[in-house]
Amino acid sequence: MTARLPLFLMLATLPAAIAIGQSATVSSLKGHNANAPVDVAADRIELQDRADRAIFTGNVKVKQGDMTMDAPRMTVAYARAAGADPQVQRIDASGGVTVTSPTETAKGNFGIYDVNRRLVTLIGNVRVTRGTNNVNGSRLTIDLTTGRASVDGSRVPGNATTTGPGGVAGGRVTGRFSVPQRTN
């Protein structure tokens, strides 16, 4: 069973969105400039030119516009056209991945940035944080064009009551959201 919950819910819109079924706000990565250059820094690079990929290891940091991806290891797949510079197509990250934007942080075990489709996906022990609000699940997908983000839960086989990776209880997405503080 899969549960879906829009991410990065704004405090002011959360109660109204739940009450009337409207869509909540989207990621601050909406409209991310996926045409900006991709800057990569790492302790080591292994170029596999015949396979059109480069493997970066050790404190790897990828930055594009306002988005940063950090992980111990990343594989960058690229395409080459005759007479043109190589073009980054996809980045696969592993070993614990952190994606940050100006207002949000997302963490997971593995990450995929599909540059062509403008999608960022984190898998395994996913936790998304915006201020004091957070959402946990097993898979996060962010569409960089629309800013629409969703988290899926995954059921732990054989035991629906077990708390799974990332605080996912029985395949459910969990979250904690702040509320307006009132004085009596």
Task: Summarize pLDDT for 105-143 with one digit per residue, the tens.
Answer: 999 999 999 999 999 999 999 999 999 999 999 999 999
pLDDT in tens, 168-180: 445 788 888 888 8
In the predicted model, is pLDDT for residue 31 greater than 80?
no
16: helix, strand or coil: helix
In the predicted model, is pLDDT for residue 9 greater than 50?
no
**pTM value?**
0.76
Structural domain including 70 reads 4-176
Q: How much is the pLDDT for 170?
A: 59
Q: How much is the pLDDT for 95?
A: 97
Tokens of 65: 């516009």
Q: How much is the pLDDT for 27?
A: 65
**Is residue 182 domain-resident?**
no
Q: How much is the pLDDT for 8?
A: 35
Greatest Cα pair distance, the chain, in angstroms, is: 70
**Is residue 131 domain-resident?**
yes
Name the residue among 159, 122, 119, 153 with its Cα closest to residue 138: 153
**Is residue 110 domain-resident?**
yes
Q: What's the CATH code of the domain at 134? A: 2.60.450.10
**Is residue 184 domain-resident?**
no
pLDDT in tens, 61-108: 999 999 999 999 999 999 988 888 889 999 999 999 999 998 899 999
Q: How many domains does the chain have?
A: 1
Average pLDDT over residues 29-34: 77
**Is residue 181 domain-resident?**
no
Residue 161 per-residue DSSP state: T
In the predicted model, is pLDDT for residue 161 greater than 80?
no
